[in-house]
Amino acid sequence: MELNMNHLTKKFGDFTAVDHLDLTMTQGVYGLLGVNGAGKTTLMRMLCTLLEPTEGTITCNGKDILKMGGDYRKLLGYLPQDFGFYPEFTVQDYLLYIAALKGIRPAVARRRVKELISRVGLANAAKKKMKKLSGGMKRRAGIAQAMLNNPKILILDEPTAGLDPNERIRFRNLISELSEDRLVLLSTHIVSDVEYIANEICLMKDGRFVHQGTSEQLISSMTDGVWKCTASKEQAAFLMKKYKVSNMKTGAHGIELRMISRERPLPDAVREEATLEDLFLYYFGEKAGEDHAAI
* pTM for the full predicted model: 0.86
Tell me: the pLDDT tens digits for 31-81?
A: 999 988 899 999 999 999 999 999 999 999 999 999 999 999 999 999 998
Interatomic CA distance for residues 89 and 71, integer angstroms? 29
Predicted confidence band at 287 (pLDDT cuts at 50, 70, 90)?
low
Q: Are 228 and 197 within one domain?
A: no
Q: Are 190 and 270 within one domain?
A: no
Residue 292, pLDDT score: 39
- The CATH number covering residue 185 comes to 3.40.50.300
Longest C-alpha distance within the chain, in Å?
A: 71
Q: Are 28 and 98 within one domain?
A: yes
Q: Are 231 and 124 within one domain?
A: no
Interatomic CA distance for residues 155 and 183, integer angstroms? 8
Q: Are 95 and 238 within one domain?
A: no
Residue 49 is part of which domain span?
3-219
Enumerate residues 6+ apart whose C-beta is below 8 A from 199. Answer: 28, 29, 30, 214
- Residue where a domain stops, chosen among 167, 194, 219: 219
- Residue where a domain stops, chosen among 185, 200, 219: 219
Q: Are 127 and 253 within one domain?
A: no
Q: Are 171 and 248 within one domain?
A: no
Q: Is position 291 within any domain?
A: no
Tell me: the pLDDT tens digits for 201-221?
A: 999 999 999 999 999 999 998
- Residue where a domain stops, chosen among 165, 189, 219: 219
Q: Is position 87 within any domain?
A: yes
Range among 3-12, 138-147, 186-195 rated most confident: 3-12
Q: Are 117 and 250 within one domain?
A: no
Q: 3-class SS at 240?
A: helix
Q: Are 135 and 239 within one domain?
A: no
For the chain, what is the domain count?
A: 2
Asked whether the beta carbons of 99 and 117 are under 8 A apart, the reply is: no
Q: Are 134 and 275 within one domain?
A: no
Q: Is position 234 within any domain?
A: yes
Q: Are 139 and 275 within one domain?
A: no
Res. 200: pLDDT tops 90: yes
Q: 3-class SS at 223?
A: coil
Average pLDDT score, the chain: 90
Neighbours of 162 (CB within 10 A): 12
Q: 3-class SS at 33?
A: strand
Q: Is position 33 within any domain?
A: yes
Q: Is position 259 within any domain?
A: yes
Q: Is position 98 within any domain?
A: yes
